Structure 1
Amino acid sequence: MADFLIVITTVDTHDAARKLSRSAVEAGLAASGQVTGPIETTYRHLGEVVEGNEYQVTFRTAGDRREALEGHIVHNHPYDSPEVIAFGIDAGRADYLDWITRATR
């Protein structure tokens, strides 16, 4: 497991994105959450291709907080089966990475 991660998800409204971002940071599961959008999305749902708008939430967290962050996202997410994808941070400034650790403790 990577020491530091970027975790992303998407939700259907700006309000839901802001609430999810804030609740994860308040719980100490992520050092930060950024909301981007609206973004246009195309996806397959119940056998049909659908288009719509979503908001992406991007979290920075420590690797040992990934499982708890994922659980938080799933529990507080408006979708039945939300996207939760994590990418390892291969490099970063030591001061910034130390901040991620401090902010998730």
Structure 2
Amino acid sequence: MTNFVQVSTATPTREQAIELARSVVGERLAAGAQIVGPVISAFWHDGEFGTGEEWQLLLKTTRTRYPELEAHLLEQHPWQKPEIAAVPIEMGSAGCLDWIAANTEPAK
């Protein structure tokens, strides 16, 4: 099992995505963030079907840092119940994985 995960979430605006990205990377909860958007989503919410424009964040972190990252996202996210999903990074270049590990160490 790998120690690395890619976490995704989305926000309603570009500015909110940038702010979340800055805060999680600044606190070393993720080594880096990519913002993709706008994307169009189709979804069910409160029993109703909807579509909307969102900005997706892709965050690279370790399994060890994931609980703190999730807690931060839940606290800072503009939505009450945001989608936060983590998938394992099964393989990656040694340099990339070393970078994730080095940049998610808690600040001393």
User: Structure 1 CA distance, aligned partners of 2:89 and 2:58?
Assistant: 13
User: Structure 1 CA distance, aligned partners of 2:47 and 2:100?
Assistant: 40
User: Superposed, which structure 2 residues align to 1:42-57 within 5 Å?
Assistant: 42-57=42-57
User: Superposed, which structure 2 residues align to 1:8-87 within 5 Å?
Assistant: 8-87=8-87
Two-structure CA RMSD over aligned residues (Å): 1.0
Count of paired positions: 105
Between the two proteins, what is the percent identity of the paired residues? 38
Deviations 1:73-96 (A, max 9, x none): 111000010101000011111111
Shift >2 Å, 4+ stretches: none
Where 1:80 maps in the other structure, the secondary structure is coil
Deviations 1:44-101 (A, max 9, x none): 1222111110010000001110000001111100001010100001111111111101
User: Structure 2 CA distance, aligned partners of 1:43 and 1:70?
Assistant: 22
User: Structure 2 CA distance, aligned partners of 1:27 and 1:88?
Assistant: 21
- Which segment drifts farther, 12-21 or 39-48? 39-48
Which blocks of at least 5 consecutive residues in structure 1 are unaligned? none
- Map of 1:96 onto structure 2: 96
Where 1:82 maps in the other structure, the secondary structure is coil
User: Structure 1 CA distance, aligned partners of 2:72 and 2:46?
Assistant: 26
